[in-house]
Chains A and B, each alone.
Chain A
Amino acid sequence: MTQHLPILAIITLFIGAFIVALIKEKNEVLRNTVVLIATFMSFIFTLMMYKPIIGEGNIITYWMGNWEPVQNWAIGIGLEVDQLSLFFGLFISLSIVLSALYSFKYIEKETGKDKYYVLFLMMSASVMGFIFTGDLFNMYVMIEIMTFASVALTAFRNNKPEAVEAGFKYIAIGSIGSSLILLATVIIYAQFHTLNLAQIAGELHNNYTITTLFALALMVVGYAVKVFAVPTHFVAPDAYMTAPSSISMLFSGIVNKAAVYGILRVLYVVYQSMNLPSVQFMLIFWGTVTMFIGVTMALAQHDFKRLLAFHSISQIGYVITGIGLATALGITGGLYHALNHTLFKGLLFLCAGAVYYATGTTDLDKLGGLAKRMPQTALIFIIGAFSISGIPPFNGFVSKWIIYQASYEAGYAPVTIIALIVSVMTLASFIKVAQSAFFGQLPKEFKNVEEVPLSMRVPMWIMAILCIVGGIFPSSFTKYLITPAANAVMNSAKYVEVMMGPEFASKFYNNLGNAPVIDYKLAGYWQPIAWLILFGILLLAFTLVALLGGFNPKHFSYSDEEDAKYDVFYSGESAEFSHVGGSDLFWGLKYQFRHYFDLMHKIHNGVVNDYALSVVLTAAVVLLYVFTFVR
Chain B
Amino acid sequence: MFEKLIQKGLEKSAWLYHLNTGSCNGCDIELVSVITPRYDAERFGFKIAGSPRHADIIVVSGPITSQSRDRLIRTLAQVPEPKVVVSLGSCPRSCNVFNGSYCVEGPLDKYAPIDVSIAGCPPKPEAIMAGLVRAVEILKEKRRAMK
Contacts and interface: CB of A to CB of B under 8 A. Distances in A.
Contacts of A565: 77-78
B6 interface: yes
Contact of B72 (A550, A552, A572, A573): A572
A550 B81 CA distance: 15
A550 B1 CA distance: 10
Given A552-B81, A552-B146, A569-B52, A574 B2 contact: no
B75 interface: yes
Contact of B77 (A548, A550, A564, A574): A564
Contacts of B68: 572
B146 A553 contact: yes
A549 interface: yes
B6 A574 contact: no
A564 B78 contact: yes
A550 B78 contact: no
Interface string A251-280: 000000000000000000000000000000
A557 to B, nearest CB: 8
A549 B78 contact: no
B71 interface: yes
Interface in A523-580: 548-550, 552-553, 563-565, 567, 569, 571-574
Contacts of A563: 77
B32 interface: no
A572 B2 contact: no
Nearest to A548: B2
A563 B74 CA distance: 9
Nearest to A563: B77
B65 to A, nearest CB: 12
Interface string B61-80: 00000001011111101100
A564 B77 CA distance: 6
A553 B53 contact: no
A549 B4 CA distance: 12
Nearest to A574: B74
Nearest to A550: B2
Contacts of A567: 74, 78
A564 B74 contact: yes
A569 B73 contact: no
A548 B6 CA distance: 12
B38 interface: no
Contacts of B71: 571-573
B77 A569 contact: no
Given A569-B51, A569-B53, A572-B68, A549 B81 contact: no
A412 B74 CA distance: 58
B147 interface: yes
Contacts of A552: 81, 146
Find the residue from A569, A572, A573 having the highest chain B CB count within 10 A: A572
A576 to B, nearest CB: 12
A572 B74 CA distance: 6
Contacts of B53: 569
Interface string A494-522: 00000000000000000000000000000
Contacts of A573: 71
A574 B71 CA distance: 8
Interface in B68-126: 68, 70-75, 77-78, 81
B92 to A, nearest CB: 16
Contacts of A574: 70, 74
A571 B19 CA distance: 10
Contacts of B146: 552-553
B10 to A, nearest CB: 12
Nearest to A565: B77
A549 B2 contact: yes
B64 to A, nearest CB: 12
A570 to B, nearest CB: 8
Contacts of A564: 73-74, 77-78
A326 B51 CA distance: 55
B6 A550 contact: yes
Contacts of B81: 552
Interface in A561-607: 563-565, 567, 569, 571-574
Contacts of A548: 2
Contacts of B70: 572, 574
Nearest to B21: A572
Contacts of B51: 569
A572 B81 CA distance: 18
Nearest to B3: A549
A569 B54 CA distance: 11
Contacts of A572: 68, 70-72, 74-75
Find the residue from A548, A553, A563, A569 having the highest chain B CB count within 10 A: A569
A139 B53 CA distance: 64
Interface string B48-62: 000111000000000
A564 B72 CA distance: 11
A567 B73 CA distance: 12
A569 B17 CA distance: 13
Contacts of B2: 548-550
Contacts of B147: 553
Nearest to B74: A564
A553 B144 CA distance: 12
A548 B68 CA distance: 41
B81 to A, nearest CB: 7
A432 B119 CA distance: 49
B9 to A, nearest CB: 10
Interface in A166-194: none
Nearest to A573: B71
A322 B75 CA distance: 55
Contacts of B72: 572
A571 B68 CA distance: 11
A567 B3 CA distance: 29
A573 B52 CA distance: 13
Find the residue from B74, B77, B146 having the highest chain A CB count within 10 A: B74
A552 B75 CA distance: 21
Contacts of B75: 569, 571-572
Contacts of B74: 564, 567, 572, 574
Contacts of A553: 146-147
A360 to B, nearest CB: 34
A563 B147 CA distance: 24
A564 B147 CA distance: 24
13 contacts: A549-B2, A550-B2, A553-B146, A563-B77, A564-B73, A565-B77, A567-B78, A569-B52, A572-B70, A572-B71, A572-B72, A573-B71, A574-B74
Interface of B: 2-3, 6, 51-53, 68, 70-75, 77-78, 81, 146-147
Q: Which 4 pairs, one residue from A and one from B, show the smallest C-beta to C-beta distance?
A: A572-B71, A564-B77, A565-B77, A564-B74
Given A550-B6, A552-B146, 7 more contacts: A553-B146, A564-B77, A567-B78, A569-B51, A569-B52, A569-B78, A572-B70
